[in-house]
Homo-oligomer: A and B are copies of this chain.
């Protein structure tokens, strides 16, 4: 559904949203171990997201990754957007060029609702909104 890269990144960003702050930056290694994904690979992803201002980082001692208030107010879809791009949500599930409600592909109506719902959920809700539910114990991260 999503690439491993996007899954790891969503997990990591929500972990940072819950656990980090300007005063409590967290290293890539700690995040990776907490959510159970390969450290160097996640580090690359976090660097990428930082460069694109989806998350924040600071070098040096007491440095690490964290989410600013601005970062937290971004929609969760921006994580996927900067890693996989949005083509997955834009294109026909069968890869047909001219698939639409007018000229639907054979599985258009079976699959389109799923695709749209998922996209809307990620597009309409902020990182912070997802983090709140984790803090409340309504939803859960990692394992």
Question: Which of A's residues lie within 8 Å of B, judged by CB?
Answer: 1-2, 4, 7-8, 10-11, 14, 76, 88, 93-99, 103-108, 110-111, 113-115, 117-118, 121-122, 125, 130, 133-134, 138-143
On whether the beta carbons of B105 and A139 are closer than 8 Å, the reply is yes
On whether the beta carbons of A76 and B1 are closer than 8 Å, the reply is no
On whether the beta carbons of A93 and B139 are closer than 8 Å, the reply is no
A-B interface, 3 closest residue pairs, ranked by CB to CB distance from nearest: A110-B121, A114-B114, A7-B95
Most buried by B among A111, A130, A141: A111
Sample 6 A-B pairs with CB under 8 A, ordered by A number: A1-B88, A8-B95, A96-B140, A103-B140, A106-B134, A113-B118
On whether the beta carbons of B130 and A98 are closer than 8 Å, the reply is no
Most buried by B among A88, A95, A111, A133: A95
Q: How far is the CA of A99 from the CA of B8 in the complex (A)?
A: 15
On whether the beta carbons of B143 and A14 are closer than 8 Å, the reply is no
The one of B1, B95, B98 that contacts A93, using a Cβ cutoff of 8 Å: B1
Instruction: Give chain B nearest CB distance to A72 CB in angstroms.
Output: 14
Q: How far is the CA of A93 from the CA of B96 in the complex (A)?
A: 24
